Structure formats: structure tokens, C-alpha cells
Amino acid sequence: MSEPAAYSGLDSRRFGIRVFRARVDTLAAASDLMRFAGSADVDLLIVRCPVEAVAAAQLLERAGGILTDTLVTYRGPTSRFEPSPVLSPRVRLCQEADRSALEGIARASFASFFGHYHADPRLDPAAATEGYVEWASSALADSSSVVLVSETEGRLSGFLTAKKLDAKTWEILLNGVAPEFQHRGIYAALFREIGWRARLQGASEVLISTQLANLAPQKVWTRAGLELDHALYTFHWWKA
Ligand SMILES: CC(C)(COP(=O)(O)OP(=O)(O)OC[C@H]1O[C@@H](n2cnc3c(N)ncnc32)[C@H](O)[C@@H]1OP(=O)(O)O)[C@@H](O)C(=O)NCCC(=O)NCCS
């Protein structure tokens, strides 16, 4: 039988501790997980739990887990995406020469993010931010990923990464707009463009997630016809 949690090399290296990750959907699975965590060499356990699995969530709370975010996932058809009617901002594919600007935007836009890493006071927020920077940057080298950037007033103002999960579905993964360019519709333009490119390449649906508290992207998605598909709590449980 496989272990109820998996060692996360990426998280462990980033924070200099032993991090495991798990998902539990039932009370019995949550109970097994906490038994495993008690006996394994774990510093931090990151657990996702569907919001409807209330008994499992309550067990994680009783065991000392802290709620660090609620991840909402939306899904929608590409048929509603049309080519962008305006040229401002210009949105194009990211090139290798854009890498350091892309990393700079990711660093600035994710510096105090709503995600579970930043919500845990025991984790170094600078290391948490670098996680998003690496995630954005690594998409440039991944052949199944698409990375778009926006240009405003001659500078890179935002980015968006997406992954082709299969012929039918693209998952939009990470987006950021530099703080000085926010509230100008740049994210909405990046989102429109990726939806259109997915449609052009034959995908029929897009999938995307964020934290429940992150209202700006959810406004843009619902206007584009996406609907809430499911939601997961994220708990962090520390051994000591
Ligand atoms: C989320 C983010 C990408 C939005 O970028 P943006 O270019 O400022 O967004 P837009 O200008 O297209 O705004 C979209 C809508 O959200 C609203 N909005 C923007 N920031 C908001 C905020 N902090 N709170 C509530 N609504 C907000 C805008 O007013 C707009 O709605 P409106 O048309 O009713 O005015 C940007 O704030 C960001 O980089 N945040 C940090 C990283 C992040 O959260 N990424 C997305 C999840 S992976």
C-alpha cells in the first residue's frame, strides 16, 4: 500500500525542512494520514481536503493543522473566447530574452500573495515568493507549457503561464501583473488571449485555480463564462 503522504523535494529544499504533501477526501483517510505523520520523519505536512469533507477538515483541525488557504478551481468552455479587439497591452509569447523581466514581475507580484506558503507564519516569505518565481521561470523550458507576456509603455507588464493537459483541456497556472501596472485590465487581456489561443489550437475547455480570497481573477473568469468546479482547503500541520 502506498504511503498516505508524499515527500516533496521541491518544498523541502526551498524551506530547508522535511515537507510532505497529501490529499484526504474522507475522515478515515485523514485519520490514517495523521497516524502516518505522527510516526514519520516529517517537519511540515501540507494537506488538501475538499471543502465538502467537513469531518476530515475538523479532524485535521483537532490534530493541530492550521487553515492556510481555500483553493477554488473554475472550468469553462473556450467557445466564448474571441480574438482580442484591442492592441493595448500587446500580448505575445514570452522569449528566452524576457526571462529576467518575467522573474522580476513574478517576484514583485507574488511578494505578499494569498497562497498557503505566505499564510504560514513559520515559513520564510521571501523563500515562498521565490517558489513562484521558479515556477514561472521553469515554464519557459517546458514544451507543453505556453507562456504569454504583456507589454505596456515599452516594458513587460505581466505574464501568464498555461499547460496543455491533453488535446481538450488547457490549465492556466500562474499569472502576475507588475504592481505599477495593476488595475489597468492587463490581466483580463492576458486571460482573453490564452483562452483564444487554446480555442484556436482545438482545446474545448480551460481550467484555472486561485485562492478564494483572490477576487480579481475570479471576476475576470466569471465574466468569460467559467464556473466554479470545486474547492479545497489547505492545512499546514507542523510536527513540533
Ligand atoms: C490578480 C492580478 C493578476 C490582477 O491583475 P490586473 O491587471 O490588476 O487585473 P485587471 O486590471 O485585469 O482587473 C480585473 C478585475 O479585478 C479587479 N481587481 C484588480 N485588483 C483587485 C483587487 N486587489 N481586489 C479586488 N478586485 C481587484 C479590477 O478592478 C477588475 O475588475 P473591474 O473590471 O470590475 O474593475 C494582479 O493583481 C496580480 O498580479 N496579483 C498577484 C498575483 C496573483 O494573484 N495572480 C493570480 C493568481 S495565480
Nearest by Cα to 6 from 53, 40, 55:
40
All three cell numbers of 183, joined, read 488595475
Cα dist from 11 to 7, 44, 72, 131, whole Å: 9, 10, 22, 8
The three-state DSSP-derived secondary structure of 190-228 is HHHHHHHHHHHCCCCEEEEEEECCCHHHHHHHHHCCCEE
Position in ligand 1 atom list of the atom nearest CA 214:
44
Q: How far is the CA of 97 from the centre of ligand 1 (A)?
A: 26
**Helix axes 99-109 and 125-138, enclosed angle (nearest 10):** 140
Q: How far is the CA of 184 from the centre of ligand 1 (A)?
A: 9
Dist CA 24 CA 188 (whole Å): 34
Low-confidence ranges of the chain (pLDDT < 70): 1, 86-87
Q: Which pLDDT score is estimated for 38?
A: 93
Q: Which pLDDT score is estimated for 1?
A: 62
**Helix axes 27-39 and 54-62, enclosed angle (nearest 10):** 30
List 73's β-bridge partners, or say none.
209, 230
Q: Which residues line ligand 1 (CB under 6 A)?
A: 109-110, 113, 174-177, 182-188, 210, 214-217, 219-220
pLDDT per position as a tens digit, 197-222: 999 999 999 999 999 999 999 999 99
Q: Which pLDDT score is estimated for 87?
A: 65
Position in ligand 1 atom list of the atom nearest CA 173:
48
Dist CA 17 CA 7 (whole Å): 11
pLDDT per position as a tens digit, 10-40: 999 999 999 999 999 999 999 999 999 999 9
Residue with CA at minimum distance from ligand 1 atom 19: 216
**CATH number given to 76-231:** 3.40.630.30
Q: How far is the CA of 217 from the centre of ligand 1 (A)?
A: 6
Mutate to test the pocket of ligand 1, among 177, 186, 207 (most ligand atoms within 8 A of CB): 177
Q: How far is the CA of 168 from the centre of ligand 1 (A)?
A: 27
pTM of the predicted protein model: 0.95
Start-end of H helices in the chain: 9-15, 27-39, 54-62, 99-109, 125-138, 186-200, 215-223
Sequence spans of domains, the chain: 6-64, 76-231
Q: What is the DSSP letter of 9?
A: H
